Amino acid sequence: MSQQQQTSLRNRLLRVLGPNDFGLLAPAFEQVSLTLGHHLTEANQPLGHAYFIESGLISLLADTVRPGANRVEIGIVGFEGMVGLPIVLGTRRSPHVALVQAEGRALAIPAPVLDEALNSSRTLRGVLGRYAQSLIVQVGQTVCANADFNIEARLARWIVMTQDRLGRDDLPLTHEFLSLMLGVRRPGVTTATHMLEGAGMIRAQRGRITVLDRGKLLELAEGSYGGAEAEYERLLEEG
């Protein structure tokens, strides 16, 4: 990819890279489609590629401690980030699954190529390392939200986070997905969705939620939203 092509990309990590660092990665990029429900990475399996998200949404899922219980979402990634951070951190495995939650596309790069580029560029390692820090903050805030906030506030937070990462108001979200993402039963999701809809915050249709009043959603989410996003912006500016 040329420098001109770099400026046309949507992925924010790739856009902030210097020309030399981008040049280390660009020849190995392969554009891939993100298909709804597909696992980009599997738990405890070797990571063959890292993925810089151009569009769509990826959920990072962890197994709960109870045998047979559903996986729960611990983080989400859109065009602000990448999937495959264990490679950046010096390993090739993760206990988490990366699940495509909204269709889109990404730029895939083989793990050995990314390894070599990281070893040859301190500035590239700095950018991706700071992104790792921001994702850690997001995961921490998700844990706090799940512990301290009711389902309506958690749903409001999650909708706004999804809106940010998809860059649109029309969100492809089913109650089944929301139940998985929030770690609650479907009846609880249905009740919370009706509450938000009744308050004029969203419009819920089959398989889709439309944001009507972001301000009200932010008010309901209270302090559960914004900290991780602010940290991401701060860390990105450090480069």
SS (H, E, C) the chain: CCHHHHHHCCCHHHHHCCHHHHHHHHHHCEEEEECCCCEEECCCCCCCEEEEEEEEEEEEEECCCCCCCCCEEEEEECCCCEECHHHHCCCCCCCCEEEEEEEEEEEEEEHHHHHHHHHHCHHHHHHHHHHHHHHHHHHHHHHHHHHHCCHHHHHHHHHHHHHHHHCCCEECCCHHHHHHHHCCCHHHHHHHHHHHHHCCCEEEECCEEEECCHHHHHHHHHHHCCHHHHHHHHHHHHC
Q: In the beta sheet, which residues pair with residue 52?
A: 82, 107
Query: How much is the average pLDDT of 67-74?
Result: 69
What was the pLDDT predicted at 2?
A: 44
pLDDT at 1: 45
Q: Indicate if the pLDDT at residue 19 is higher than 90.
A: yes
Cβ atoms of 239 and 16 closer than 8 Å: yes
Q: Mean pLDDT, to the nearest integer, of 207-215?
A: 93
Report the Cα–Cα distance between both ends of the chain, in Å, rounded. Answer: 22
pLDDT number for residue 205:
87
* Residues of each domain in the chain carrying CATH 2.60.120.10: 3-145
Whether 68 shows a pLDDT value over 70: the answer reads no
pLDDT for 236:
87
Residue 66 is predicted with a pLDDT of 56
**Do β-strands 97-110 and 208-211 pair in parallel, antiparallel, or remain unpaired?**
unpaired
> Side-chain half-sphere of 157: how many Cα atoms within 13 Å?
27
pLDDT at 239: 65
Range list for CATH 1.10.10.10 in the chain: 150-229
Better-scored residue on pLDDT, 30 or 205: 30
Q: What is the dihedral of CA 150, 148, 84, 16, to 10 degrees?
A: 90
Average pLDDT over residues 175-185: 75
- What would the mean pLDDT of 179-201 be, rounded to a whole number? 85
pTM score above 0.85: yes
Of 62-66, 176-180, 203-207, where does mean pLDDT reach its minimum? Answer: 62-66
**Is the CATH number of domain 150-229 3.40.50.12500?**
no
How crowded is residue 159: how many other Cβ atoms within 10 Å of its Cβ?
25
106 dihedral zone (left: phi>0; alpha: psi -120 to 50; beta): beta
Non-local (6+) Cβ contacts of 187 within 8 A are none
Fold of 3-145: Jelly Rolls (2.60.120)
Q: Which residue has the tokens 């738990």?
A: 43
